[in-house]
């Protein structure tokens, strides 16, 4: 598959807070593997863990957040959307196409976060 056809995307998923740690990690791996199996590649992923929601979703006030950056052909997103809608552990999800400015910002944010964790150590 030609790399010119690959677009950069960011996927934000909020899993239900009642998920066990191993199920949370298994769900992350499932969707990351789905993207790579369909011709994409994972650029970066961050498990943010348990966070408060801005508003209750299905009577829950917290959720397990997961951020995934990837490159993939645009048709992968429709298939990914179907898989996420079928998963009862996902409360919300959003796929965003990243332009060059968003990519630059994302790289700066990651580098800043890495620098902060190094100085904290």
Predicted structure pTM score: 0.86
In the prediction, which pLDDT does 116 show?
Answer: 75
CATH number of the domain that residue 73 is part of = 3.30.70.60
Domain span holding position 67: 3-120
How many domains, in total, are found in the chain?
1
Give the pLDDT confidence of 8-38 residue by residue, as tens digits: 999 999 999 999 999 999 999 999 999 999 9
- Confidence check: pLDDT of 121 > 70: no
Task: Flag whether pLDDT at 73 surpasses 70.
Answer: yes
Q: Is 93 left (phi over 0), alpha (psi -120 to 50) or beta?
A: beta
pLDDT for the residue numbered 4:
56
CA gap 9, 7 in Å, rounded: 6
Q: What percentage of the chain exceeds 90 in pLDDT? A: 77
Cβ partners under 8 Å of residue 92, min gap 6: 13, 14, 57, 63
Which pLDDT belongs to residue 112?
82
């Amino acid at each position: 598959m030609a790399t010119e056809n690959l677009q950069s995307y960011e996927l934000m998923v909020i899993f239900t807070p009642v998920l066990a740690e191993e199920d949370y990690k298994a769900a992350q791996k499932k969707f990351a593997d789905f993207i790579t199996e369909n011709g994409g590649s994972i650029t970066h992923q961050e498990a943010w863990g348990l966070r408060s929601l801005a508003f209750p979703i299905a009577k829950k006030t917290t959720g397990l957040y997961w951020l995934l950056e990837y490159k993939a052909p645009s048709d992968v997103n429709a298939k990914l959307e179907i898989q996420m809608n079928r998963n009862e552990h996902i409360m919300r999800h959003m796929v965003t196409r990243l332009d060059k400015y968003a990519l630059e910002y994302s790289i700066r944010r990651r580098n800043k976060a890495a620098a902060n964790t190094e100085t904290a150590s």
